Structure 1
Amino acid sequence: MDIGQIIRAARKAKKLSLEELAHQVDSDSGNLSRLERGLQSTTPDKLKQIMSILGIKLSPQDAGMSNVQMALQPSREPKEYPLISWVIAGEWAESCDNLHPGDADQWIASTENAGNNGFWLEVKGDSMTCNGNPSFPEGSRILVQPEADLISGKYYVAKLLDSGESTFKQYIEDAGLKYLRPLNPSYRTIQINGNCQFIGRVIDTKMTGL
Structure 2
Amino acid sequence: MDKWIELVKAKMSELKITQTELGERVGMSQGGIGHWLNKRREPGVTEMNRVLQALGMDFLEVAMVIREPQQTADDDMPLAQKYNPYFRYPVNDWRAPFEVRETEPQPYSKAQDKQRFELTDYHARGAAFWLTVAGDSMTAPRGPSIAEGMLILVDPAAEALPGKLVIAQWSDSDDAIFRKLDEEGGQRYLVPLNPTWPKALLTDECRIIGVVVQATARY
TM-score norm. by structure 2 comes to: 0.58
Gaps of 5+ in 1: 1-11, 26-48, 56-73
1:190/1:98 Cα in 2 relative to 1: closer, same or farther (>3 Å)? Answer: same
Please report how far the alpha carbon of residue 122 of structure 1 lies from its aligned counterpart in structure 2 after TM superposition. 0.3
Contact 2:125 2:157 in 1 (8 A): no
Please report how far the alpha carbon of residue 136 of structure 1 lies from its aligned counterpart in structure 2 after TM superposition. 0.9
Please report how far the alpha carbon of residue 98 of structure 1 lies from its aligned counterpart in structure 2 after TM superposition. 8.5
Aligned to 1:61: none
Are residue 111 (structure 1) and residue 100 (structure 2) matched? no
1:84/1:163 Cα in 2 relative to 1: closer, same or farther (>3 Å)? Answer: closer
Rounded to whole Å, the distance in 2 between the matches of 1:115 and 1:121 is 17
Please report how far the alpha carbon of residue 119 of structure 1 lies from its aligned counterpart in structure 2 after TM superposition. 0.7
Contact 2:91 2:130 in 1 (8 A): yes
Aligned to 2:2: 13
Q: Which has the larger radius of gyration?
A: 2
Q: Which runs of structure 1 show a deviation greater than 4 angstroms over 4 or more consecutive aligned residues?
A: 95-101
Are residue 182 (structure 1) and residue 182 (structure 2) matched? no
Is the partner of 2:167 in helix, strand or coil? strand
Cα-to-partner distance string for 1:124-172 (whole Å, 9 max, x where unaligned): 1000011334211111000010132121101111111233331011111
Q: Counterpart of 1:199 in structure 2: which amino acid?
A: I
Aligned to 1:90: 98
Please report how far the alpha carbon of residue 14 of structure 1 lies from its aligned counterpart in structure 2 after TM superposition. 5.2
Is the partner of 1:203 in helix, strand or coil? strand
Aligned to 1:159: 169
Q: How many residues align?
A: 152
Cα-to-partner distance string for 1:26-75 (whole Å, 9 max, x where unaligned): xxxxxxxxxxxxxxxxxxxxxxx9xx79x9xxxxxxxxxxxxxxxxxx57
Aligned to 1:142: 152
Map residues 120-139 of structure 1 onto 2, 5 A cutoff: 120-139=130-149
CA RMSD of the aligned region, Å? 3.4
TM-score norm. by structure 1 comes to: 0.60
Identity %: 29
